Copies of this chain bind each other. A is one copy, B any other.
Amino acid sequence: MPTPTKSASDIICTIRESGHRVTNGKRAVAEVLISSTSHLSVDEVVQAVRAIEPEINQSTIYRILEEFEELGLVVHSHLGASAAVYHLAGQNHAHLVCDNCGLTQEIPATTFDVMEVQLREKFGFNLDRHHVALSGLCATCRENQEK
């Protein structure tokens, strides 16, 4: 059963219910995350948010993203690059990152269904399928490497 796509008001609601306060900054971050199809670095979130709320500070964005993550609204990954990237939770996908060119493909998290069960049974480990990032070589770089 796929997680239903969240709307901005769902996010606002979750914030309020958790006892946190709703601010313009949080509304803007929510909108940015919802309208983005890809993964955003903190810096990209900052740029996008400033189009809505020009006066917002970078450290505020860090704090908002941290709060959203604690509330389970967003997840972040380290896709090999230096800076972390954020996106909404509940989007069922995992990442394949090319070591060579940095290309990131998204693949359905269902790819890991079997592995998830296997890891739990064998190692007692509960895989977070929203947070999977695998390294390797994309098709193009592999071909070039084989010369």
**Residue among B107, B118, B131 making CB contact with A136, cutoff 8 Å:** B131
A118 contact set on B, CB distance < 8 A: 111
A4 at the interface (CB under 8 A from B): no
State how many copies of this chain the complex holds. 2
A101 at the interface (CB under 8 A from B): no
**Chain A stretch 90-147: residues in CB contact (< 8 A) with chain B:** 96, 98-99, 105, 107, 111-112, 114-115, 118-119, 122-128, 131-139, 142
Please, how many angstroms separate the alpha-carbon atoms of A114 and B137 in the complex? 17
A126-B107 contact, Cβ under 8 Å, with A78-B78, A99-B131, A132-B135: no
Interface of A is mostly: mixed
Contact A138 B125 (CB under 8 A): yes
A126-B137 contact, Cβ under 8 Å, with A111-B118, A118-B111, A119-B96: yes
**Residue among B114, B115, B137 making CB contact with A128, cutoff 8 Å:** B137
**Residue among B123, B128, B131, B138 making CB contact with A105, cutoff 8 Å:** B123
Contact A136 B126 (CB under 8 A): yes
Q: Which of A126, A128, A131 has the most CB of B within 10 A?
A: A126
| A141 and chain B: residue at smallest CB distance | B126
Contact B134 A107 (CB under 8 A): no
4 other contacts beyond A128-B137, A132-B135, with CB at 8 A cut-off?
A78-B78, A127-B136, A128-B134, A132-B134
